[in-house]
Every structure is written in C-alpha cells, then in structure tokens.
Structure 1
Amino acid sequence: MSGFDDNPFVDPVDVNPFKDPSVVEVTSTTMDGIQEYNPFSASGQGNYNETTIPISEGSSQPAVLQPSPEPSLQASASAGQAKLLKQQEELEKKAAELERKEQELQNRGSSLGPENNWPPLPKFFPIKPCFYQDFDEEIPVEYHRVSKMMYYLWMYHCVTLFLNILACLAHFTVDAAHGVDFGLAILWFILFSPAAFLCWYRPVYKAFKSDSSFNFFFFFFIFSFQVVVYIIQSVGIPYWGNSGWIYSISVIGTNLAVSVFMMVVAGFFTVSAVMSVVLLKMVHGMYRRTGASFQKAQQELSTGVVSNRTFQSAASTAAQTAFQRN
C-alpha cells in the first residue's frame, strides 16, 4: 500500500538517465577509441601493412577510351577537299580544251576560213572538196527544214537526170533513129547537175545563211527558169532528150517495156516540177518575213562589187593607165 500512498505531484527525485553506469561506459569507450586513433601512427600503419586487398581481374585491364568524332570529321573533310580538287582539275582541262579549239577556229577563220567539206570525197582522191556546208552551224534553226528540202530536191534532180539517160538509152537500143535523145540526155545530166547546184541551190543556202537579199533575188530569178525546165521535161517533147509523157506514150507501139520505163522517168520529172513549185512558194514566204527588199539587194551588190579584189585591181590598173596618159 506504500506505493499507492506516494504523492505523484511531489517533486521527483533528481535522476539523470545519462549517468547510468552502462551508458557512461559505452560513451567513454567510443570516445577514447576515436581520440586515440591516428592513421599516420606506427601502430595504424602496422595494422594495414599486414593485410593486402587483392585487385580484381577486371580492374587489371587497360582503360579503353571511346573514339572521338574528330577523326571521322577530318577524314570526310579530306575526302571532300580531294573531290573538289579533282573537279577543279577537270574544269581546268575542259577550259584549256575549249580555249584551244577557239584559237584554232580563230586562226582558221582569219587565215583560210572553214575547211571545205563538200562534196564528201575520200582523202586519197586527187580532187578536193570545193565548198563548205554545215546546216547546223551556218543555217538558223527556223530555216533548217526548207534549206535541207532544197538540198534533197537538188539530189532528186540529179537522180532524175541519170534515170533519163537510162531511159533514152533503152529507147535508143530499140530505135536507132532516136540517138539524138540519148546524146542530149547525157548533155543535160553533165550540164544541169552542177549548174543547178551553183545557180539556185547555193544562192538559197547563202540567202538563209546571211539573210542576203541579193542571193534571194538571184535564187528567184534562176529557180523560176528551173521550174519551167521541169515542166518541159515532164511533158517530154521528142528529140529534146527528155523522156516525158508525150515521148514515153509515143513509144508504146514500139516497145511496151521501154515505154513503161520512160513513163516512170516522166513521173520523176513531174514530181520534180511539183516540188519545185511548192518550195518556191515556201522560200518566197520566208523571204517576205526576213525583211529583205530590192533596195537591200542593190546595196549588197554595190558593196560586193566595190569590195571585190578583182574589181579593185582592175580599177587601180585603169586609174594608173589614165594617169600615165595624162
């Protein structure tokens, strides 16, 4: 009952829990150990020298550094620089080649002009080409078609004249009285083939090349006669050396095979006449769009005559002669 008789409100006994003997012993021991420990003392070193800590096998491997991206960037930069240098060398070579060709063209133009390439004869042939012809280089694009058609018409004209020789020869073998036609057919082929090239094909080629009014007028004048000649040849008057329709029909009673062959040649002459009329109209339409005129043709003629070396030499000779007489 004594325990229940105590007054709880009486001042408690002054008890310090930290003064408990077990707590004091533990705290004092821990503090003493901490204060006495010196890692640099002989005793501390001796304790750690007796035991060694083994190094793991993984740590014995050498450290490997990750490759940095700088070498790859340098390699790509070097490759790009080498590519640019190569392209620059190629461009320099092309520029040098173009300069060389341009120099050759200038030298050729200043000295002898373009080298003739027509007719296309082999190099070992004793006769050399007489003209220079290049549609892509000399003729404007809008005149390519018509100029080439005129060239094809001239070739067709030559083939027709050659077939006319064969037709007249066939009739001559059947009827010896028409030997004159065979002779005239040979003459027309020898005369009209180069004459057509020089008198109407080359003028129209030069007209398209340099927009020359004089060459246009010269072409119209000569080619109009050529159209009339084609019509006469297609008609085929006997003893004129042309196996046209009248001449070929008259041979039906003599030899049918020869007559048929002569009719084929008459058809060739007819096609030549039709094509010549069509091309004459086409060239005339282009001539009107170029702005050419008769006044320009007169100016070109006068300028060409005055600048002609033959005319100049003749005029100087005449002036010297007149001066000496005076």
Structure 2
Amino acid sequence: MAQNRDIRSPFSDSGELDNPFQDPAVIQHRPSQQYATLDVYNPFENREPPPAYEPPAPAPAPLPPPSAPTVQSSRKLSPTEPKNYGSYSTQASAAAATAELLKKQEELNRKAEELDRRERELQHAGLGGTGTRQNNWPPLPSFCPVQPCFFQDISVDIPQEFQKTVSTMYYLWLCSTLTLVLNFLACLARFCVDTSSGSGFGLSMLWLLLFTPCSFVCWYRPMYKAFRSDSSFNFFVFFFIFFVQDVFFVLQAIGIPGWGFSGWVFAIVAVGTNPAVAVLMLLVALLFTGIAVLGIVMLKRIHSLYRRTGASFQKAQQEFAAGVFSNPAVRTAAANAAAGAAENAFRAP
C-alpha cells in the first residue's frame, strides 16, 4: 500500500519535471503570433470574399477591311428603311466633280493624240521637204491632164479648236459653188422661155466661171492659212475680201433683173411667165439667202476668234514685210534696181 501511495499522478501539482505539459518541446509550440493554430483561428473574422466567377472574355472579332465603315449604328435599320450614305447635295457634288474630271481627262487624251498625229505628219513632211506633201486639191482623177494645185488636210494643218470653223467655211464655199451652178441653170431655163433675158444668162455663166475659183483662192485659202499658221496678214486679207463676197451674196439673194442672179425679185417677175422656171428661181433665191446669212454669221465668228488669237495690224505689217523681203523674185528685182541706180550714178558727170 505504501508503495502505491508513493506513486504520483501525472496530473498532480508537482515539479516541472513531473508535468508533461511543461516539457520544453511542448512549450515552444504553444499558440503565439508566430505560430497560428486552431486556437487563434476565427472563422467569423471580417475577411474579403473571393472574387466572383467571371467567364473568359471572347476572342476579338477581326477588323473590317479599310473600305468598309468602322462605325456601326446602335440602332438596327428596318428592311424597308433606306441606308443613309450621305446627303444628296454631297453625292451630287461628288458625282459632278467626277464627271468633270473624266471630261477633262478625255479632252487631254484627245489633244495628246491630235498632237502626236500632227507631229508624225510634220516629221514625215519635214524629212523629204515640201516635195513629200503632194497636192491633193482639187481631187482630180489620175488620167486628167490637170493636176491638183493645193494641199489641203484640215485634220492635219488646222488646230483642233479651229477645225470646225474651217470645215464650215469650206462647206460654205461648196454651197456657194453649187448655188452658182443652179443659178446658171435657172437663168438658162429663163432664157429658153424668154429670149430677152440673154444678158442675165451670159452674166450667170460669167459669175460661175469667175466666182468659183476666185472665191477659193481669194478668201478661203487666206482663211485656211491664217488658222494654220496664225497669220495676221492672211486674216486681214480674208476679212477684206470676204466682206466684199458677203455683199455679193446679198445682191445675189435680192436678184436684180439683168444682173445674172436668180434672186427674189427676178423670181417673182418670172412667176407670171412660167411657173416651173419661177419655182427653180425661187429655190435659187432661197439658197442665196441662206448663204448670205451664214456668211455674215461666220464673218463675225472668225473676227471674234481673230481677236482672241492676239493678232494685230502691226503684226500683219511685219509679216507682209518679212514675206516680201524673203521672196527670191523680190530680192532679185530689188538688187537689179539698186545695181542699175548705182551704175547710173557713176556714169553721171
């Protein structure tokens, strides 16, 4: 029994060596700030909750091409609602600007082609001199003993902005020639029914033979050369002679009896004699009237073009002087005259 009483309880208040909780290995593991155990854990402590679950972001959509619009409207258009691509005035101005640019581009291309063609033609003519530019007017057959006297090509010699004017004058000359032929036939028919009008018939033949070549040489060719080389002298020659030609056109349209013109007066006189001849003469009078009106209009038009070309009377004088002194025949005559004057001066006592 005594031995049993001496046995000490492990949980009795004894010395440190008899208490297991006083063991240094246990003491160093007691709760402290350095070692957080279950005794110091508080589940109700205010801590930040974990972030909510967020689904992964979708992959970015591919960018539209540069031509496609990048800004999209938040409002969905209805199927019947038209899309707004800009104001009407903006679209109209853009379309007008585009059309104007296209028109200018076409005009520049046409001018470039015209210049290239003219340059090739001039180079071809310049390589062989003037002999390569064979005369082609009047267009006569090869078997005819008379050969063409002039070279005429409006599309080659005349600048593009003046080609329409020159072509109109050429057609005017052709119409005047055709009208003179009809006037001769009308006067011939009048002479057949009335032998007292023989003087008119003779004058109509004279006007046909005189006006046809002289009008071509005296006013059409100067006008052609004036536009071809921008010659002030040829412009002045054309204005003077064509003004006289317009006066004759008016006299031809009037038709004074005995002058050889089947104009309105002569045609009205012939109505009571022979209606068929009168109808032919009225047709000629109508043609003469149209030619006179067109001649006056073209004279004013060419004069306005002449004022825009920068030609002047002083320039015409300079061209005339240069042309006279550059003429070999004139130079030879002037040299002979000077030599003769000098010889006479030395022979004089």
Structure 2 length normalisation: TM-score? 0.63
1:219 is matched with 238
Is the aligned partner of 1:185 residue 2:185? no
In 1: Cα distance, 2:296 partner to 2:182 partner: 22
SS at 2:252's partner residue? helix
Question: What residue identity is the alignment partner of 1:231?
Answer: V
In 2: Cα distance, 1:258 partner to 1:205 partner: 38
SS at 2:134's partner residue? coil
Q: Deviations over 1:183-216 (max 9, x none)?
A: 1000000000001001110000000000000111
Q: Deviations over 1:29-63 (max 9, x none)?
A: xxxxxxxxxxxxxxxxxxxxxxxxxxxxxxxxxxx
- Cα displacement (A) at 1:102: 8.4
- State the superposition RMSD in angstroms: 1.6
In 2: Cα distance, 1:143 partner to 1:218 partner: 18
Higher helix share: 1
CA 103–211 in structure 1, closer or farther in 2 if over 3 Å, else same: closer
Is the aligned partner of 1:285 residue 2:280? no
In 2: Cα distance, 1:103 partner to 1:204 partner: 24
Is the aligned partner of 1:122 residue 2:105? no
Is the aligned partner of 1:236 residue 2:216? no
In 2: Cα distance, 1:124 partner to 1:166 partner: 28
Q: Deviations over 1:245-297 (max 9, x none)?
A: 00000111111111111000000100110110111111011101100011100
Within 5 Å, give how 1:200-211 maps onto structure 2: 200-211=219-230
Stretches of structure 1 lacking an aligned partner (at least 5 in a row) = 1-99
In 1: Cα distance, 2:122 partner to 2:221 partner: 27
Q: 1:135 aligns with which of 154, 158, 161?
A: 154
Stretches of structure 2 lacking an aligned partner (at least 5 in a row) = 1-119
CA 203–105 in structure 1, closer or farther in 2 if over 3 Å, else same: closer
SS at 1:254's partner residue? coil
- Report the identity percentage: 54
CA 116–260 in structure 1, closer or farther in 2 if over 3 Å, else same: same
Q: 2:292 aligns with which of 259, 273, 276?
A: 273
Higher relative contact order (Cα pairs below 8 Å, separated by 6+ residues): 1
Is the aligned partner of 1:151 residue 2:170? yes
- Cα displacement (A) at 1:103: 7.7
In 1: Cα distance, 2:178 partner to 2:207 partner: 12
1:108 is matched with 128
SS at 1:118's partner residue? coil
In 2: Cα distance, 1:198 partner to 1:318 partner: 31
In 1: Cα distance, 2:174 partner to 2:126 partner: 33
Structure 1 length normalisation: TM-score? 0.67
In 2: Cα distance, 1:200 partner to 1:207 partner: 10
Question: What residue identity is the alignment partner of 2:125?
Answer: L
